[in-house]
Amino acid sequence: TAEKETMGFQTEAKQLLKLMIHSLYSNKEIFLRELISNASDAADKLRFESLEAPELLEEDPDLKITVVTNKDTKTITITDNGIGMSKDEVIQNLGTIARSGTAEYLKNLTGDKKKDAQLIGQFGVGFYSAFIVADRVEVFTRRAGLPANEAVHWESTGEADFSIEPVERAERGTQVVLHLRDDSLDFADDWRVRSVIKKYSDHISLPVMMYKSQSEEEIKEGALPEFETINEAKALWVRNRTEVKDEEYIEFYKHISHDFNEPLTWSHNKVEGKLEYASLLYIPEKAPFDMWNRDANRGVKLYVQRTFIMDEAEQFLPLYLRFVKGVVDSNDLSLNVSREILQKDPNVDSMKSALTKRVLDMLEKLAKKDTEKYQTFWKTFGQVLKEGPAEDFANREKIAKLLRFATSHDNKAEQTHSLDDYIARMKEGQKEIFYVVGESHAMASNSPHLEVFRKKGIEVLLLSDRVDDWLMNQLGEYDGKQLKDVGRGELDLGELDAEEDKKQKEKLAKEHKDLVERVQGILEGKVQEVRVTNRLTDSPACLVVGDYDIGMQMKRILEQAGQ
């Protein structure tokens, strides 16, 4: 038979391990959450695979997780009868970090414990968190369907390498044995562990079991200890909203999102009627490390009648809501649904539009209820939401309501004003929403185009994000008011222009006819037209883009793209 082999961790894995142990030290107990979370995922995967191959359940169909502590051996052992791992899977899953962009991301780590803990949190803590409390970790695992003699024993001290050897194992699934460090022996204490698990795993839908404590009598009689279930063990999204505590929602979020931080807000709904489904959707507080990576994971976890079907089901939400995490559980889809089928199923389309509305409503509610949290959301995901009006024409008014801008009202760079705020401050007789686009906030707010608006006390949105020009073109109007670029075309302030201003402009145009013609001659071929304006109060001249030309910002984006 094959022998024990020693292998090195992948560089990134080694780095992460080291940093994890140091920076998450003050929050040791999270290792339990991570290992139970993995065991639960393993059960989900087995249930899913057994839909097509029931024999994988062997003689052991009741999926569960057990946790056993032992003060004598100074260990805590977490066992599941889920999917298990083959030798290759063990090497891949417990020896490397496969996610793309990892190496890039790890360069951001600073050595400052607090900051790094935050960064690692965004990355996802995972299996390696076992080494926060253990100086040696053993994994015994057999993949469902493989014979008992193809089980694997993995072992490591969490430094440079790990060993792997074949073993016999009758039980299917995975057992993780943590040999506790001297400073973490509290995790060999049954009561301590019990309370942590209660805190972290009520939302886990399969039973998490520990030994029942025995009476003196039972111990005297030498009775064998029995297991008892210590969590709620029911899919959280199936429960009634009123029964679920906030802490449970938060823990569930951490489980499904692999995010270390709490979510900003969530929305839990059960829909009955023509289509029956439950959804639980979350808005994260922090962006995942790979949000701007095109192949980054996105989408919800899909269940059909409580059975896990797939992660990252992208068909249930539009791309501009890709930051949303959550679960959808449908009663109408078939258990053998695939990504291809999802794409064609009209039921999925109706669910998508309902879920999109839910998310937009949730954001609107958050904006009303908690401006500070909404600002956090906007700073992190505002740029993504700005893709919305182009992708989702039907909801563009709803999305527009959620946008936030910097404006000349206070000239601050921070984007805090909604279009509704702007409208509430509009001048008597003002019919349009004015905006100016600049390469930076400073450039926008110092634009000569603003001079006349400042003079008249008319507010202008100060736009400087790359997508802004394009966004405004997509939107076109809001609440029946046109969005007007003040750096474009002839400026007609309509009723906002006093009669005398108009007369003054006509008079000037007449007086300076010769000058205008001369300048026009000199700039022949460089500009389309030279004209007298009432735009400016201090600057002598400015450049204006035609009404139907591409904006300056768009032009630059296209130039950068080599067009």
User: Which residues inside 236-275 make contact with ligand ADP, applying CB under 6 A?
Assistant: 258
Supply φ then ψ for residue 72, to 5 degrees: -70, -50
H-type alpha helices, 370-440: 371-385, 388-391, 396-402, 419-424
Check whether 34 is labelled as a binding-site residue: yes
Contacted entry of ligand ADP, Mg ion, none for residue 326, CB cut-off 5 to 8 Å set by kind:
none
**In which residue are the tokens 């790890």 written?**
106
- In 3D, which of 27, 20, 32, 23 has the Cα closest to residue 199? 32
| HEC secondary structure over 276-321 | CEEEEEEECCCCCCCCCCCCCCCCEEEEECCEEEEEEEHHHCCHHH
Q: Which of 82, 121, 126, 388 binds Mg ion (CB under 5 A)?
A: 126
From the CB of 261, what's the least distance to ligand ADP, in Å? Answer: 15
**In which residue are the tokens 């057990």 written?**
66
Contacted entry of Mg ion, ligand ADP, none for residue 419, CB cut-off 5 to 8 Å set by kind:
none
The amino acid at 314: E
Q: Does 40 bind Mg ion (CB under 5 A)?
A: no
Sole window of 123-131, 298-306, 375-383, 507-515 interacting with ligand ADP (rule: CB under 6 A):
123-131
Check whether 131 is labelled as a binding-site residue: no
Please state, as a whole number, how many other Cβ atoms lie within 10 Å of the Cβ of residue 553: 20
Q: Which residues contact 36 (CB under 8 A, 6 or more apart)?
A: 65, 67, 78, 197, 200, 201, 204, 208
Q: Which of 39, 355, 385, 450 binds ligand ADP (CB under 6 A)?
A: 39
Q: Which residues contact 374 (CB under 8 A, 6 or more apart)?
A: 363, 366, 367
Q: Which residues contact 162 (CB under 8 A, 6 or more apart)?
A: 6, 7, 9, 94, 95, 154, 155, 156
Sole window of 37-45, 54-62, 352-360, 550-558 interacting with Mg ion (rule: CB under 5 A):
37-45
Q: Which residue is nearest to ligand ADP (CB)?
A: 126
Contacted entry of Mg ion, ligand ADP, none for residue 85, CB cut-off 5 to 8 Å set by kind:
ligand ADP
Q: Does 38 bind Mg ion (CB under 5 A)?
A: yes
Q: Does 33 bind ligand ADP (CB under 6 A)?
A: no
Cα 29 to chain centroid distance, Å, stands at 24
Contacted entry of Mg ion, ligand ADP, none for residue 124, CB cut-off 5 to 8 Å set by kind:
ligand ADP
Q: Which of 18, 49, 127, 261 binds ligand ADP (CB under 6 A)?
A: 127
Sole window of 14-22, 67-75, 124-132, 468-476 interacting with ligand ADP (rule: CB under 6 A):
124-132
129 touches 17 (CB < 8 A): no
Check whether 104 is labelled as a binding-site residue: no
Q: Does 46 bind ligand ADP (CB under 6 A)?
A: no
Annotated binding site for ATP: 34, 38, 80, 85, 93, 100-101, 122-127, 174, 339
The residues binding ligand ADP (CB under 6 A) are 34, 38-39, 42, 80, 82-85, 93-94, 124, 126-127, 174, 258
**Which amino acids are annotated as binding site, given as ranges?**
34, 38, 80, 85, 93, 100-101, 122-127, 174, 339
Residues interacting with Mg ion, by CB under 5 A?
A: 38, 126
